[in-house]
């Protein structure tokens, strides 16, 4: 018999029907006459209770079988149980299962099991990432992650977007930062050998890359893992009108902080015929849609986070979901931060026109000045990417960041430059290697259109919704500097 998920059993009417439960033991309490077993299968936050009354067992109970199997049970063991679903006489649960048969599928030695009943630190659980999903905290995190992935697709599909798959291997750098993981089949030993010879010949270290013959590499040129699927998404938007990508991206950024990962998932929609105002409208709708989905579909898990991780979490999410996002230009935002500093606000990084707004500034805007989400737009062109459309002032570009209380930036987006000459000039000003971007420029030569898009880091979203402090705790297997276990 296929087991019934515990989440379905807990919402069933107790009519003494026979059910099959499979899961992992959370606890066993064995008194003289009564046995209570808490089982969880990960389908929901709650456990289901299995009971065995030695004085009054179920008429069809295989008593000898149950007694033998009980000897094998410890926290972490996996079981298959059959019994009757009945109303629970105890408080705390509506239903329970009276045992008729029990089978231990996998034993668990309590002396060796890494997950103990006492409180475990997040750092310790990261060293046991293959098991941490069995804890209350991480089971809840991954259920929220699942629901939010479904919500992402639901939002875009309801609005006529096409889901596309951007390549993970690329020869172009969307962000222009150069912090990319290289993909190669060339022998590292031979490259090192060439490097030693070149060094002996007086070659400067910054010119060492010139001795590598990438024509002999797998792709015939230098290739890397993608930092973004945006450029490829733009090509699809100029044919399908509205598209989105949702997949892994990679940054070789040597940042050991609670906010950075080397591998993370990005949601990147691109919309033809959208200007910056249209872009901001859909960004606000998107954030509210996701929060309302979480508040509705993940309630029990959010209640756990509200109680154990971040008190007041649900109230803050509800407030943002109902709020009208403030829209303010970068210039005006900087002016407000400078005014706040004059009035006694303390910042580690001084705000000034031309600076990249720091996290502390983002949080001050959302938490102290406005008390709600803020959309900052029209940034200085020097601190934004080459593909963003310039404003008529020649100093700013049509970029926007969505800032939310608690974490700061949640979304970054812009109207894209659709004019060939202007885009080419922006690339040349940054001294970019145009051989890898000609296909991107072609979009501006053949039926160019105004278009816009944005990016939302999925792990940043999950961190915001769950209240988890470290981004390494909202992805099953985090990748960061010196961290690629499992």
* 148-168 residue pLDDT tens: 999 999 999 999 999 999 999
Domain ranges of the chain: 6-106, 137-184+222-473, 185-221
What are the pLDDT digits (tens) for 29-65? 998 899 999 999 999 999 999 999 999 898 889 999 9
Above pLDDT 90, what percent of the chain?
Answer: 83
In tens, the pLDDT along 261-316 reads: 999 999 999 999 999 999 999 999 999 999 999 999 999 999 999 999 999 999 99
CA-CA distance, 275 to 279, in Å (whole number)?
A: 6
pLDDT band with cut points at 50, 70 and 90 for residue 198: low
- Stated as kind and residue range, the H or E segment containing 369 is none
Strand positions, DSSP E, 202-302: 223-225, 242-250, 263-272
Q: Partners of 49 in the beta sheet?
A: 38
Overall size of the chain counted in residues: 486
pLDDT at residue 199, as a whole number: 67
* Range 374-407 burial, b when 16+ CB lie within 10 A, else e: bbbbbbbbeebbbbbbbbeeeebbbbbbbbbbbb
DSSP SS3 for 401? strand
Would you place residue 211 in the very low, low, confident or very high pLDDT band (cuts 50, 70, 90)?
confident
Q: Which CATH entry fits the domain spanning 137-184+222-473: 3.40.1350.10, 3.30.930.10, 3.50.50.60, 1.10.240.10?
A: 3.30.930.10
pTM of the predicted structure, to 2 decimals: 0.94
Instruction: Taking residues 420-433, report their average pLDDT.
Output: 92
- CB contact at 8 A, 161 and 145: no
Q: Does the pLDDT of residue 91 top 90, yes or no?
A: no
Predicted local distance difference test score (pLDDT) of residue 247:
97
Expressed in percent and rounded to 5, the helix, strand and coil fractions of the chain are 35, 25, 40
- Please spell the DSSP secondary structure of 9-56, one letter per residue: HHTS-----EEEEEEEEEEEEE-SSEEEEEEE-SSSSS-EEEEEESSS
**Given this model, what pLDDT does residue 459 score?**
98
Q: How confident is the model at residue 208 (pLDDT cuts 50, 70, 90)?
A: low
Q: What is the mean pLDDT of the chain?
A: 94
Q: CA 471, 473, 478, 483 torsion: positive or negative?
A: positive
Alpha carbons 307 and 303: distance in angstroms, whole number = 6
Tokens of 249: 């991206």
Phi first, then psi: give them for residue 40, nearest 5 degrees: -130, 140
Cβ contacts of residue 13 below 8 Å, gap of 6+? Answer: none
Closest CA to 362 of 317, 398, 314, 412: 412
Confidence of residue 435 (pLDDT cuts 50, 70, 90): confident
Angstrom distance (rounded) from CA 293 to CA 148:
8
Q: Which fold has domain 6-106?
A: OB fold (Dihydrolipoamide Acetyltransferase, E2P) (2.40.50)
Strands 408-416 vs 451-457: parallel, antiparallel or unpaired: antiparallel
């Amino acid at each position: 018999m296929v087991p019934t998920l515990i989440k379905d059993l807990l919402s069933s009417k107790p009519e003494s029907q026979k059910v099959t439960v499979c899961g992992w033991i959370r606890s066993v309490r064995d008194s003289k006459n009564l046995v209570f077993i808490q089982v969880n299968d990960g389908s929901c936050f709650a456990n289901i209770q299995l009971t065995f009354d030695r004085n009054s067992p179920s008429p069809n109970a295989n008593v000898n079988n149950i007694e033998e199997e009980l000897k094998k049970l410890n926290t972490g063991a996996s079981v298959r149980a059959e019994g009757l679903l009945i109303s629970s006489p105890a408080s705390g649960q509506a239903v329970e299962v009276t045992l008729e048969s029990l089978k231990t599928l996998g034993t668990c030695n309590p002396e060796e099991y890494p997950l103990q009943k006492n409180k475990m630190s997040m750092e310790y659980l990261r060293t046991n990432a293959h098991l941490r999903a069995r804890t209350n905290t991480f089971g809840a995190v991954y259920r929220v992650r699942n629901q939010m992935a479904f919500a992402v697709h639901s939002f875009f599909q309801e609005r006529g977007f096409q889901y596309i798959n951007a390549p993970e291997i690329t020869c172009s750098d969307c962000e222009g930062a150069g912090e990319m993981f290289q993909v190669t089949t060339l022998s590292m030993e031979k490259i090192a050998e060439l490097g030693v010879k070149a060094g002996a010949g007086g070659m400067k270290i910054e010119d060492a890359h010139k001795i590598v013959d990438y024509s002999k590499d797998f792709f015939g040129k230098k290739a890397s893992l993608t930092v973004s699927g945006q450029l490829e998404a733009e090509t699809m938007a100029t044919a399908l009108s509205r598209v989105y990508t949702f997949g892994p991206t990679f940054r070789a950024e040597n940042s050991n902080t609670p906010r950075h990962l080397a591998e993370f998932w990005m949601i990147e929609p691109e919309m033809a015929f959208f200007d910056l105002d249209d872009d901001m409208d859909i960004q606000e709708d998107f954030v509210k849609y996701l929060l309302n989905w979480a508040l509705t579909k993940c309630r029990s898990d959010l209640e756990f986070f509200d109680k154990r991780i971040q008190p007041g979490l649900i109230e803050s999410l509800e407030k943002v979901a109902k709020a009208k996002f403030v829209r303010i230009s970068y210039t005006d935002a900087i002016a407000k931060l400078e005014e706040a500093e004059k009035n006694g606000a303390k910042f580690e990084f001084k705000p000034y026109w031309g600076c990249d707004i720091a996290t502390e500034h983002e949080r001050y805007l959302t938490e102290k000045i406005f008390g709600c989400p803020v959309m900052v737009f029209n940034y200085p062109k020097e601190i934004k990417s080459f593909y963003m459309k310039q404003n008529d002032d020649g100093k700013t570009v049509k970029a926007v960041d969505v800032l939310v209380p608690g974490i700061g930036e949640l979304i970054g987006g812009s109207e894209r430059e659709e004019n060939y000459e202007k885009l080419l000039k922006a690339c040349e000003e940054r001294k970019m290697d145009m051989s890898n971007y000609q296909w991107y420029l072609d979009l501006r030569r053949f039926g160019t259109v105004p278009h816009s898009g944005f990016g939302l880091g999925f792990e940043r979203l999950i961190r915001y919704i769950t209240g988890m402090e470290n981004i390494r705790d909202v992805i099953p297997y985090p990748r960061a500097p010196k961290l690629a276990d499992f």
